[in-house]
Amino acid sequence: MIRLPSILVCLGLSALAGCAHGPSGTMVPTAQNPPMLILVSIDGFRADYLDRGLTPNIASLAANGVRAQAMRPAFPSITFPNHYTLVTGLYPDHHGIVNNTMEDPAIPGLKFSTDNARDERWWDEATPVWVTAQRQGLHAATMLWPASDIPNHGVLPDHFVPTGEKTPPDQRTDKVLGWVELPPGQRPAFTALYFDQVDTAGHLGGPDSEEVNQALRLVDAAIGRLVAGLRQRGLFDRTNLVILADHGMDSTSLERTIYLDDFVPTKDVHVEAIGSMTGLRAEPGHEAAVEQALLGQHAHMQCWRKAELPPRFHYGANPRVPALLCLAEPGWSIWTHAFVASLKGGFVMGMHGYDNADPRMGALFVAEGPAFHQGVVHPAFDNVDVYPLLTHLLRIKPEQNDGQFSVVADMLKAG
């Protein structure tokens, strides 16, 4: 993939602020005017999906840029916690989005879930990169990035699409291309773009299904449309693209089910989250019996008190993490007999949320652009390190975070 020389005006905070003229009269980025940065998340794109030969556009970007062997998600390896980790550089324990479903003693009577996450109090323990960029004078945009349409300390992206909209992949790409056509004083220096199709297919059919293969082709075509659109506008050589995922996927089946109510009566526990990882607390008066039944190693499942989780998980200190956690072995899932009966023959064929060190949870990471080396395969790294990379590319001062820029610095060209 060869980058074309730029012939357009530079990107900036205002029409000419911070611009410099190159030898041919073209405008070039300066310290106040970073190249555009487009961050793309393909939910559920397991790192090894790239080797299937079904995503030629992403593969071309990887060949001409940087590809990680894998990117380790934060624990738990699920969607909301990891999308917030990617844009804050904080472990879920520190940014507060500790699960896709959770409760908070400080927000009584309200349960966080994918359908009930709009209360700003869930999100204000951290500051996402688009807010930091805007506070430091840049413009930002988000296309369906999880929770990016919820104000953070009262701030929304300059341009965004509400996350509830059902927008096909090509239309998402076209909206982003429309934003890059805005005048320099309005054009986003940072854009976050989100695709959910691969994850949805993985849950329905499993990671080895034709549904996943079709979703890979569909999203790759949208990435190709984005690249072609940037080329047509003379902006491809002026744009850093970072394409990644939040987690991987593993195959599951009804035969690999652990039934929680085989261990404890459901009336004795309050379950906050269930599936690959189950979080619960004992009802008053049942604490000792529940702990005796659950704590320790079981066939295909291990349970801990929150304070006794393995330190490498960086998890368990936040008040939103329930008192007891049970983690299924990859490929297994934890449900109740009543829940499985309610499925009436259907079953989730793919799951994530397992131990984040498991290779099947490894996520895609590809980066290409003027800042990146070409043809580099980078060792696996933790996704908290993406945030300092993003702030470096945007030339903004980062918020306090858990990432290490030194881990990803060798992806970048000198200077």
Residues serving a catalytic function are: 79
CB atoms within 10 A of CB 232: 10
Separation between Cα atoms, residue 343 and residue 329, nearest integer Å: 22
* Length of the chain in terms of residues written: 415
Distance CA 134, CA 141 (A): 10
Rounded to 5°, angle at Cα 404 from 403 and 410: 135
Element (H, E) at 368: strand 365-368
* Cα 402 to Cα 88: distance, rounded to the nearest angstrom: 9
- Cβ neighbors of 147 (< 8 A, separation 6 or more) are 80, 83, 84, 97, 117, 123, 163
Residue 370 has which token pair? 């003027």
Coil, strand or helix at 221? helix
The alpha-carbon radius of gyration of the chain (Å, integer) is: 22
Nearest to 61 by CA among 242, 248, 238, 229: 242
Question: What count of other Cβ atoms lies within 10 Å of the Cβ of residue 406?
Answer: 9
Task: Confirm if 281 and 269 have CB atoms less than 8 A apart.
Answer: yes
Q: Supply 54's token pair.
A: 């079904």
Residue 359's CB: how many other CB atoms inside 10 A?
A: 15
DSSP annotation of 120: G
